């Protein structure tokens, strides 16, 4: 479960400042859990931006650098986006480490070449300088300080002349070696970031798993079929060999009299406090409905209204299917697709076309990873079927099923047409509704 020690802080961004609550998750860190509130507008501007309760803001060094300190945190809607952000960071740091390893090797070759410059031929010089110019050009738009410094050292090494105007290949070799040092520093930092991010992401996953485990136990409790001769429902409910994950709607069918209702109330009460600790999205939305129904179920137990109790708890159980469907959509479809596309964009960064607005975008062919795309399409079809057949819209306060199905159907068509961007956008829209 998440644990909070809230303290008021101000998150600054390009639109003003935002009062938030710093959620000290079990591992600490910089994740800010927002209360219901409004984004304060700069002077002279009207209106406010509502911020969902239970969403996150996470410090972002790249964003801070790009906006010159105006924006310090990136907004993340829920725990799944928090996990995905961590996995993206891991992916990019891995790419960076691989790139730095290649650059160090290339820079060493260039330094050795400069040390042996008098013994090289014109053709050798032309080829290596062209290669080196190309490598330096790829650093033209970097923001990382070590990469910027390395780029300047690479440019300085292009000229054979030293500061006195004399040819000095040895001095240029030393400047080239300085770039190696900068690339090593960046590689070491990428390793440190990746190690920390892997640990932090693992902790986010543990929180998600904790929430799902609690929901799973509730699902099992509400799916239990009453065994004859067993009176203590509260004790039996947590016995592993009596779990029925998808049993018929006949739990409590044999509970009679006040003893049975008291036992049922004990089971219901055992879930209320743990569920009350869930404060973050996306689980926060479903938990609010579940808690309302469980508290009503307690009252029905006290009032001896068994038939109404059974009907209500069946409804509660059916509503839990949306939680599991959302998890499948996020972990089996959205995250694999998002990470796959990011990886392929890196590999196909030169495969550009212009769209109707004159902007250039990377084209990713299905042939780049046909098996991976097939697995994702199959997972999406499975989630669509689960929602269509198992998720009941009547059990929700807000009617979302039809729109979710539209988004997922659009995503499925887009995947079949290799339109990854449209597919991804519609999957995200469906997830945020759920």
Q: Please indicate whether residue 272 or residue 345 has the higher confidence score (pLDDT).
A: 272
Residues 372 and 2: their CA atoms lie apart, in Å, by 34
Residue 375's pLDDT band (cuts 50, 70, 90): very high
The structural domain count of the chain equals 4
Question: Per-residue pLDDT for 35 more than 60?
Answer: yes
Assigned token pair, 354: 């212009």
- How would residue 37 be classed by pLDDT, with cut points 50, 70 and 90? low
Q: Are residues 257 and 293 in the same domain?
A: yes
Instruction: Return the structure tokens found at 353.
Output: 């076309």
Residues 6+ apart with CB under 8 A from 261: 255, 301, 302, 304, 306, 309
Percent of the chain with pLDDT over 70: 74
428 and 387 together in one domain: yes
Q: Are residues 329 and 383 in the same domain?
A: yes
Least confident of 31-35, 74-78, 141-145, 147-151: 31-35
- The Cα–Cα gap between 175 and 157 comes to 6
For residues 406 and 349, membership in a common domain is answered with: yes
Average pLDDT over residues 75-97: 86
* Residue 34 and residue 95 in one domain: no
Mean pLDDT of all residues belonging to the chain: 77
- pLDDT band at residue 230 under the 50/70/90 scheme: very low
State how far the alpha carbon of 258 is from the alpha carbons of 306, 318, 432, in Å. 10, 26, 42
pLDDT at 81 over 70: yes
Identify whether residues 328 and 396 lie together within a single domain: yes
The larger pLDDT score, comparing residue 424 to residue 112, is at 424
Q: How confident is the model at residue 130 (pLDDT cuts 50, 70, 90)?
A: confident
> Containing domain of residue 55, as a range?
8-76
C-alpha–C-alpha distance, residues 187 and 100, integer Å: 6
For 139, the token pair is: 């650093």
Q: What angle do CA 352, 356, 361 make, to 5 degrees?
A: 25
Q: What is the DSSP letter of 216?
A: H
Please indicate whether residue 217 or residue 160 has the higher confidence score (pLDDT). Answer: 217
Residue 110 shares a structural domain with residue 188: yes
- Expressed in percent and rounded to 5, the helix, strand and coil fractions of the chain are 65, 10, 25
Bridge partners, residue 17, by sequence? 12, 40
Same domain, 67 and 90: no
Tell me, what's the pLDDT at 167? Answer: 74
DSSP 70: S
236 domain-assigned = yes
Burial 45-81 (b: 16+ CB within 10 A, else e): eeeeeebbbbbbbbebeebbeeeeeebbbbbbbbbbb
In a domain, 31, yes or no: yes
Q: Which two tokens stand for residue 408?
A: 């997922």
For residues 315 and 322, give the distance between their C-alpha atoms in angstroms, rounded to a whole number.
12
Average pLDDT over residues 114-131: 82
Do 150 and 106 touch, CB atoms closer than 8 A? no
- Determine what percent of the chain is predicted with pLDDT higher than 90: 17
> Both 66 and 114 in a single domain?
no
d(CA 137, CA 142): 10
Residue 290 maps to a domain: yes
What predicted TM-score, i.e. pTM, was given to this entire model? 0.78
Has residue 234 got a pLDDT over 50? no
| 422 lies in the same domain as 396 | yes
pLDDT value for 125:
81
Task: Examine the domain organization and report whether 421 and 346 are in the same domain.
Answer: yes
* C-alpha Rg value of the chain to the nearest Å: 29
More confident: 224 or 429: 429
- Residues 182 and 184: their CA atoms lie apart, in Å, by 5
Q: Which of 76, 98, 115 is the last residue of a domain?
A: 76
Domain presence at residue 23:
yes
Q: Cα separations (Å) of 295 from 216, 224, 252, 258, 271?
A: 19, 20, 17, 18, 10
Distances from the Cα of 207 to the Cα of 194, 202, 283, 320, angstroms? 20, 9, 11, 18
């Amino acid at each position: 479960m998440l644990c909070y020690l809230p303290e008021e802080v101000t998150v600054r961004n390009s639109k003003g400042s935002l009062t938030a609550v710093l959620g000290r998750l079990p591992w600490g860190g910089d994740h800010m859990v927002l209360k219901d509130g409004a984004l304060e507008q700069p002077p002279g501007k009207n209106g406010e931006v509502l911020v969902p309760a239970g969403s996150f803001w996470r410090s972002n060094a790249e964003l801070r650098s790009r906006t010159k300190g105006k924006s310090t945190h990136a907004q993340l809607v829920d725990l799944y986006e928090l996990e995905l952000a961590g996995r993206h960071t891991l992916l990019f740091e891995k790419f960076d480490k691989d790139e730095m390893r290649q650059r160090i090797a290339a820079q060493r070759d260039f330094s050795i070449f400069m040390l042996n410059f008098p013994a090289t031929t014109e053709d050798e010089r032309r080829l290596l300088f062209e290669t080196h110019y190309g490598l330096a050009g790829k650093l033209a738009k970097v923001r990382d300080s070590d990469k910027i410094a390395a780029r300047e050292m690479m440019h300085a090494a292009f000229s054979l002349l030293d500061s006195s105007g004399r040819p000095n290949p040895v001095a240029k070799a030393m400047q080239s070696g300085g770039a190696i040092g900068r690339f090593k520093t960046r590689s070491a930092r990428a390793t440190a970031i990746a190690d920390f991010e892997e640990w932090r992401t693992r902790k986010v996953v543990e929180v998600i798993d904790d929430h799902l485990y609690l929901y799973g136990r509730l699902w099992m409790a509400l799916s239990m079929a009453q065994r004859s001769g067993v009176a203590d429902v509260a004790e039996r409910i947590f016995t592993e060999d009596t779990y029925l994950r998808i049993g018929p709607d006949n739990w409590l069918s044999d509970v009679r009299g006040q003893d049975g209702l008291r036992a049922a109330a004990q089971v219901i009460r055992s879930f209320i406090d743990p569920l009350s600790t869930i404060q973050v999205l996306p689980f926060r939305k479903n938990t609010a409905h579940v808690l309302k129904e469980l508290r009503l179920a307690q009252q029905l137990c006290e009032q001896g209204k068994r038939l109404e109790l059974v009907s209500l708890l069946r409804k509660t159980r059916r509503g839990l299917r949306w939680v599991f469907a959302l998890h499948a959509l996020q972990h089996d479809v959205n995250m694999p697709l998002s990470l796959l596309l990011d990886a392929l964009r890196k590999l196909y960064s030169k495969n550009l076309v212009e769209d109707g607005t004159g902007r250039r975008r990377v084209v990713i062919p299905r042939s780049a990873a046909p098996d991976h795309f097939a697995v994702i399409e199959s997972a999406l079809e499975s989630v669509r079927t689960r929602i269509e057949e198992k998720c009941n819209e009547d059990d929700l306060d807000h009617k979302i099923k039809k729109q979710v199905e539209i988004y997922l159907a659009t995503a499925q068509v887009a995947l079949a047409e290799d339109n990854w961007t449209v597919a991804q956008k519609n999957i995200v829209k469906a997830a945020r509704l759920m």
